[in-house]
Structure 1
Amino acid sequence: MRISFSACKQAQPLQVNIPGGLNMDQFILGRCRKDKVVIVMGATGTGKSRLSIDLATRFDAEIVNSDKMQVYKGLNIITNKVTEEECRGVPHHLLGIVEPDADFAAVDFVNHASTAVDSITRSGRVPIIAGGSNSYIKALVNDDMEFKSKYECCFLWVDVWMPVLHSFVSERVDKMVDASLIDEAREFFDPEGNYSCGIKRAIGVSELDEFFRNESFLDYDKRASILEDATDKIKANTCKLACHQLQNILRLRNQSEWHINYLNATEAFLKRGLESIEAWERLVARPATRVVDRFLCEDDVNFMSAIALPPPIYQIM
């Protein structure tokens, strides 16, 4: 089902110039009407890309990546970039656009993301910003005054209970290893051990340093042991990242004025096959679709949804 954003737009008022360069069609009931942006947040592995693509296929939308490592070229497996098949024809922006050794800071993201969002809205489509780098989102939405003046945001938080997410992340790393993660990381092995810049910071590169240094000198059993240790480090560091991202989302929710719509995907991760697909649709995709539909059709900037808040156990220590 595709929902047309244009069906929600009101008839355009008469163009009347107003001092300051604005015109009457930018005002409704005495305030400036802003374009609308959907932002999908969540820890690594929770299904942000999946939800953003689900929404983009139901609305006339395009996706802007806000993952710090996925902006770089290369390491498609390690950074878990969406494949062409997974994109389902949805245009993606800021995905694999930066050279691997370049420095790409929050200010660079703000500049690139603002350009992409402007282009999407000018084409009459809805921008969906999705990714786990919450510092990028904060820099764009909270700190960039031009963006704040032009756009109204709807925040969606996809969450999975941490013990369940950690189990899923562990399985995902094993699948990545089977899908040539080792060969991919080998291209970025640094004999000087410098993994502090560019895409080399991605989890899955530095953890394999010892393995790459010694693989040609060791027998099969010893190589296998070092590789197992490296894989365990990748899993542990990915789980740490997920916990850190969760804490950042909670801080943003508590410290900002954002109204963040909560979506609990845990049941979909616990189930398998068709039951998992059904749970995802019922608990995540369908509620998110209702929220976004109301957001796009609603004139009130104080839009609020009926999605439940996260459980009280989520407290920052």
Structure 2
Amino acid sequence: MSSSSATAHRTLRPRAKVVVIMGATGCGKSTLSMYLASRFPCEVINTDKMQLYRGLDITTNKIPLAERHDVPHHLLSSFDPNDGEMTPSQFRSIGHAAISGIASRGMLPLLVGGSNSFIHALLVERFDPEAEVFSGLGSAASPELRYDCCFLWVDASPPVLEEYQSKRVDEMLDMGAFNELAGYYDLRRRTNPGGWTCLRKAIGVPEFDRYFMTYPPPWGVGPGDGWRREDAGMREDDPGREGAYKEAVRKIKKNAVELAKWQIMKIERLRGCGWELHKLDATEAVRLAMAAKEEGGGRSRDVWESEVVEPSVKFVERFLW
């Protein structure tokens, strides 16, 4: 086949339709995905690089199994973190295989996650792993995509999102993230102190590694072993340990805010390069959700549905039909 014929063949070949939910950490991407999955025949593909790996489910904020409502989730806890860090080029390959498989079943691939460098690598028609697309002096991202994409950008005002992220860190610790991190630290020191480089980059791991170096967890501790957040040493007779714990939490919250800023910068850069993103303002819904938890009530769900879900459904309906 000549090069001109091959080009024509690619042009005429129908491209898979893909819906992409983007946004900063904590803005509600997974929640929106389940709302859409209740309305459209979807299967989810994870595009969060930390959630690719097995382990640290609470710390990396994976959607719990009970909240997936039997919707298939691909590339979620699928890889051993001790096997090495996945590159954008590798994700492009495995992501394409997942999209092709879902589309072949007549289902709609729904990409959900905050790793915009992986989203870019997967979706562009021609990907150059050497190009610094998200650097200020780098190359512009290509507007040419290899799929027919509908982009949904869940956003919230920075002050509200920052407050929510701070509260969410506290909630994750209450859910068992401290115990999970203690078990992960103990596993690494016993099996492969220099390895596990993938999950060691997850927010929460380096911050508490410094704490555990001074106050190591008991040998063999792990999720469900009964070592609780209270066991961190929050006692009046050990102010140094309490201070170290609070400093680790402070750094986690600070780094979560910085991550959100970086994610939004990348999204803005993609939009500036010609990606058509439908922006959904979740500010009021997030604010009301925080108030509801404190007051025991509220109407955050109604606002979430009217401000985020309903516009998203309309965008996807127009995209599909």
**TM interval, short-chain normalised:** 0.7 to 0.9
TM-score w.r.t. length of structure 2: 0.78
Quote the Cα distance in structure 2 between the aligned partners of 1:249 and 1:155.
Answer: 11
Give 1:222 deviation, angstroms. 2.1
Write the distance in 2 (CA, Å) between the matches of 1:242 and 1:194.
28
2:150 maps to 154
Counterpart of 1:254 in structure 2: which amino acid?
G
User: What's the CA shift for 1:143?
Assistant: 4.9
Match in the other structure for 1:250: 268
Q: Residues 34 and 149 of structure 1 are in contact (CA less than 8 Å); yes or no, is this contact kept in structure 2?
A: no
Root mean square deviation of aligned Cα: 2.4
In the alignment, which residue of structure 2 is the partner of 1:58?
A: 39
Cα shift at 1:188: 3.1
Given residue 277 of structure 2, which amino acid in structure 1 is its aligned partner? I
* 1:99 has 2:80 as partner: yes
| One-letter identity of the residue aligned with 1:64 | I
> 1:38 maps to what in 2?
19
**For residues 211 and 134 of structure 1, what CA distance do their matches in structure 2 show?**
30
> Aligned pair 1:263/2:259, yes or no?
no
- Counterpart in 1 of 2:209? 209
User: Equivalents in 1 of 2:168, 2:126: separation in Å?
Assistant: 35
Which of 217-226 and 170-179 deviates more?
217-226
Larger deviation, residues 276-285 vs 182-191 = 182-191
Say whether 1:276 aligns with 2:257.
no
Q: Is the 8 A contact 2:53 2:80 kept in 1?
A: yes
Unaligned runs of 5+ in 2: 128-143, 218-232
Secondary structure of the equivalent of 1:75?
coil
Counterpart check, 1:168 vs 2:156: no
> 1:233 and 1:156 mapped to 2: Cα distance?
30
Match of residue 199 from structure 1: 199
Q: Deviations over 1:105-147 (max 9, x none)?
A: 11121111111110100000100101000000111112547xx
Identity of aligned residues (%): 39
Say which SS state the counterpart of residue 121 (structure 1) adopts: helix
Residue deviations 1:225-255 (CA, integer Å, cap 9, x gap) = 1101100100000110001101111111102
Matched residue SS, 1:154: strand
Task: Provide closer, same or farther for how the CA distance between residues 243 and 216 of structure 1 changes in structure 2, counting only shifts above 3 A.
Answer: closer
| More deviation, 41-50/103-112 | 103-112
1:230 matched to which residue of 2? Answer: 248
Whole-angstrom distance in 2 between the partners of 1:204 and 1:216: 15
Mapped partners of 1:22, 1:97: distance in 2: 37
Letter in 2 for 1:79: T
Which deviates further from its counterpart, 120-129 or 104-113?
104-113
* 1:127 partnered with 2:99: no
What CA distance in whole angstroms lies between the structure 1 residues aligned with 2:145 and 2:283? 36
TM-score (norm 1): 0.79
1:195–1:201: 8 Å Cα contact kept in structure 2?
no
Q: Does 1:88 align with 2:105?
A: no
Residue in 1 aligned with 2:96? 114
- Verify: 1:74 aligned to 2:91, yes or no: no
1:60-83: per-residue Cα shift (whole Å, max 9, x none)?
Answer: 011100001000000000000000
1:196 offset after TM fit, Å? Answer: 8.3
SS at match of 1:64: strand
Measure how far apart 1:34 and its partner are.
2.1
> 1: CA distance between counterparts of 2:203 and 2:196?
11
Q: Distance in 2 between matches of 1:149 and 1:275?
A: 39
Question: Using a 3 Å threshold, how does the CA distance of structure 1 residues 76 and 222 change in structure 2: closer, same or farther?
Answer: same
Structure 1 moving runs of 4+ over 4 Å: 19-23, 190-196, 216-219
Q: Structure 2: how far apart are the matches of 1:37 and 1:112?
A: 15
1:70 is paired with a residue whose SS is helix
Secondary structure, counterpart of 1:187 in structure 2: helix
Q: Secondary structure at the match of 1:263?
A: strand
Indicate the structure with greater helix content. Answer: 2
Q: Number of paired residues? A: 271
1:25-83 deviation per Cα after TM superposition (whole angstroms, max 9, x unaligned): x98xxx54322100110000001111111111110011100001000000000000000
Q: Secondary structure at the match of 1:58?
A: coil
Farther off after superposition, 217-226 or 80-89: 217-226
User: Could you tell me which residue of structure 2 aligns to residue 47 of structure 1?
Assistant: 28
Kept in 2: contact 1:57–1:90 (CA 8 A): no
Post-superposition CA distance 1:157-187 (Å, at most 9, x none): 0001011011101111001111221121123
- Residue aligning to 1:4: none
> Structure 1's 135 and 60: CA in aligned 2 closer, same or farther, altered over 3 A?
same
